Amino acid sequence: MGILELHDVTLELGGKPILNGLSVDFWEGHVHALIGPNGAGKSTLANTIMGLPGYTHHSGDILFDGESLRGVPVDERARRGITLAWQEPARFEGLRMDRFIAAGAKVKSREKAKEMLARVGLDPERYIMRKVDKTLSGGERKRVELASILAMEPRLVLMDEPDSGIDVEALQRIFDALADFKAMGTTVIMITHSMAVLEHAEHAFLLCNGRILDKGSVGKISGYFADNCIPCDHENVPRPEEEMMPA
């Protein structure tokens, strides 16, 4: 069953179409991967689904649970169970971790916040009273954000480059969280350039020039992914003479 459906979605930014008549369904309770070259429209798609400012003027329609999201503000989309994990998580300078995690949590308690910190590999006793600020490493910020998303128990999670700027341990915690999301029936859409991340998906879509070029199993789509490029009309596709030039 498709929890999220996009029907002929077109979005222009700076006078250029970034999403180009995009139609796609995402199955409920599955971990999906979205891959493609830089500039293909992957992050724009996530921002459009979330309804962020500057991304709501699209044509076509987006349905969540069969209901149109047109005109639905970002905070209401969040209340309906849609959340977006950023490449660089918002730091909320000075906000204590227990309050940060509780902000969107279904169960708003310090014990719940401690439980979520433990699930992402952060010692609750060391971190619960720390502030979310620039003293945290990139991996710590990602894990704190992941703890807050797990506490939300969302219906749909959009993850934009979840492995960006983190260490191996933090990446493993993200993989563990994917299993947690699947166990709770959450739908995940991951934007990635990483083969290691792609392998944790159940289904994959290849996006180029704002359109879905192919979809299917990870094994099927990884063939395109391994070559980094496929024949299409994206502006970044090398011309034949460029392909012959030495690196």
Q: What is the mean pLDDT of residues 218-223?
A: 86
Its pTM stands at: 0.86
Give me the residue label for tokens 């979809």.
Answer: 215
- The mean pLDDT value for 64-83 works out to 94
What residues contact 222, with CB distance under 8 A and at least 6 apart?
Answer: 195, 198, 199, 204
Element (H, E) at 130: none
Q: DSSP strand E in the chain: where?
A: 2-13, 16-27, 31-35, 59-64, 67-68, 82-85, 95-96, 131-132, 156-160, 187-191, 203-208, 211-216
* Residue range 20-63, pLDDT digits in tens: 999 999 999 999 999 988 889 999 999 999 999 999 999 999 99
C-alpha 64: how far from its chain's center?
A: 16
Percent of the chain with pLDDT over 70: 87
Q: CATH for 1-26+33-39+50-70+202-229, among 3.20.20.70, 3.40.1160.10, 3.40.50.300, 1.10.645.10?
A: 3.40.50.300
Q: Where are the domains of the chain?
A: 1-26+33-39+50-70+202-229, 85-166
Q: What whole-number distance in Å separates Cα of residue 238 and Cα of residue 236?
A: 6
> What is the chain's alpha carbon radius of gyration, rounded to the nearest angstrom?
19
Structure tokens at 99: 């309050």
Do the Cβ atoms of 141 and 91 come closer than 8 Å? yes
Task: Write down the pLDDT at residue 234.
Answer: 54
The confidence band for 92, taking pLDDT boundaries of 50, 70 and 90, is low
